[in-house]
Amino acid sequence: MRKIYILLVVITLASINLKAQEDLLDILNSEQTEEVNTTMAIFKGARLISGHTIVTRKMGELEFVISHRFGRINSGIDEFFGLDGANVRFSLEYGITDNLTAGIGRNSFEKVYDGFLKYSLLKQSTGEKNMPVSLTAFSSMAIRTLKDPDFTEDDFNSKVSYTHQVLIARKFNDKFSFQLAPTYVHRNKVLENQENDILALGIGGRMKLNTRVSLNAEYYYRLTEELDASYKDSLGVGIEIETGGHVFHLNFTNSRSMVERGFITETDGNFFKGDIHFGFNISRVF
Amino acid sequence: MKTLKLTLTIVLLLNAVALQAQDRYLTRTGHIKFFSAAPLEDIEANNNKVLSIVDLSNGQVAVDLLIKAFEFEKKLMQEHFNENYLESDRYPKSTFKGTFSVPEGLKSMTDGVYELDVKGQLNIHGVTKDIETKSSLTVKGGKLSGELKFFVAVKDYKIKIPNVVVKNIAEQVEVTANFEYEPYK
């Protein structure tokens, strides 16, 4: 008999307790459903130094990019350490959808026009959907309009080159993002001791110094060997400053060109001997 | 034996009351809007996945939301909001827990609009502050809905605004909330 009493009392207390003890915030916490948590701001800009990042523009956004590369720092006081000789690239880049960006640009060096398409295939995320990396496919076509004195016949075809890249990036923590960029460059016409097709592997990263400033670096290692030994791998380091809608880059690189063919396959400066071009990228998103 | 029967009846009744009493109302699709009016631009963001619960038996209310669920017209702005201002990777949530005294009519879910003074703790960006605000709960045809409006001083919650955008972001941000509650359990 007594046992039954105790049992009844326990049941009653338990059911009252159940209601009283629960904190409303705990209830809400358990009601919160897991969602796909897409990693934000893997990179702030569509460029790391000269090369593209996985970043695409959102639908309807238009980005205007002005990039400069001055002459070589080691050219001395006569050339004002390179600042006398500047080359510039303008480009307009537009988000057709959230994943597809198209751009056109013109680089004053070798008077190159270029156009590209970029498509975001994977997005790094956690939560309901776990994706370790972001992946963007990139293809560009560039047309040189300056006559090349090395070629006796320099028709339209010989001025065209193509670049295809698979950009794979991961944000490891809130400070550090890393990108791999397997790259294929096809040049329609080259000199005898050069290769038409060049494979390269781009490696780059971004290290945040504070909420708005980061240190960026990029290196393109050419996997295809050429007899012509005058070209070097492209190497660049830079500081990136981001203020709502603007991204500024202050770059130091051994590459003169800002078009993929130019900086990936035809960089002629030796970074460690001081053949460094100071330059900047300014980007504004409308 | 008689005493047992009596006790049993009382116990069952008590339990039945505890289970039946419908005091708690929940929503998973609450709407919170914030609006920043600054000299250079007005910024608005909406979150339609806000969780909220009220308990009419003891006058408690709680709100829980994910910062990332705020949607802006400009996606870049949304990224800046999460990355630079609210740091949503570190502080993914904002919560509110408050109390109010329950008017008689509200307890019995009689149709009407009930003005309430809500006191509680608001947590944004990892900072908890006490706030007091007016709010109203409406009962209509057995349905409960809530409305709430207050101002948040960005500075109070250690959200840093750099000088370059000081004319783009208001110091006081207006927060409006709408909840359509459903009975909970």
Pure H helices in chain A = 2-21, 24-31, 260
CB of A112 within 8 A of CB of A106? yes
CA distances from A38 to A124, A125, A204, B79, B89 (A): 6, 4, 21, 11, 11
CB of A237 within 8 A of CB of A260? no
User: What's the rounded Cα separation, in Å, for the pair A86 and A258?
Assistant: 12
CB of B4 within 8 A of CB of B129? no
Segment 53-112 of chain B within 8 Å of chain A by CB? 53, 55, 60-64, 66, 68-69, 74-77, 79-80, 82-84, 88-90, 95, 97
Q: What is the mean pLDDT of chain A?
A: 88
For residues A128-147, average pLDDT: 92
**What is the predicted pLDDT for the residue at B83?**
86
CA distances from A206 to A49, A213, B81 (A): 10, 10, 20
Could you give the domains of chain A?
Answer: 53-285 (2.40.160.40)
Nearest-CA distance A117 → chain B (Å): 20
For residues B21-35, average pLDDT: 89
Contact A24 B55 (CB under 8 A): yes
The contacts of residue A52 (CB under 8 Å, 6+ apart) are: A46, A116, A118, A136, A138, A165, A167, A181
Confidence of residue B1 (pLDDT cuts 50, 70, 90): low
B121 in reach of chain A (CB within 8 A): no
Examine the pLDDT at B114 and tell me if it is beyond 90. yes
Domain B23-183: give its CATH architecture.
Beta Barrel (2.40)
**What is the predicted pLDDT for the residue at A174?**
85
For residues A7-22, average pLDDT: 60
Residue in chain B lying closest to A126 (CA): B89
Contact list in B for residue A23 (CB cut-off 8 A) is 62
The residue extents of the domains of chain B are: 23-183
The contacts of residue B17 (CB under 8 Å, 6+ apart) are: none
Contact list in B for residue A241 (CB cut-off 8 A) is none
What pTM was computed for the model? 0.78
Longest Cα–Cα distance of chain A, Å, equals: 112
For residues A72-95, average pLDDT: 86
Q: Which of B134, B175, B181, B153 is nearest to B32 (CA)?
A: B175
Contact A28 B82 (CB under 8 A): no
CB of A170 within 8 A of CB of A178? yes
Residue in chain B lying closest to A245 (CA): B76
ipTM of predicted assembly, 2 dp: 0.73
Mutation target vs A (from B3, B41, B84; most A CBs, 10 A cutoff): B84
Q: Which residue has the higher pLDDT, B126 or A80?
A: B126
Examine the pLDDT at A159 and tell me if it is beyond 60. yes
Examine the pLDDT at A19 and tell me if it is beyond 60. no
pLDDT, tens digit, for every residue of A179-207?
999 999 999 988 888 889 999 999 999 99
User: What's the rounded Cα separation, in Å, for the pair B161 and B37?
Assistant: 15
**What is the predicted pLDDT for the residue at A33?**
79
Nearest-CA distance A59 → chain B (Å): 9
**What is the predicted pLDDT for the residue at A38?**
86
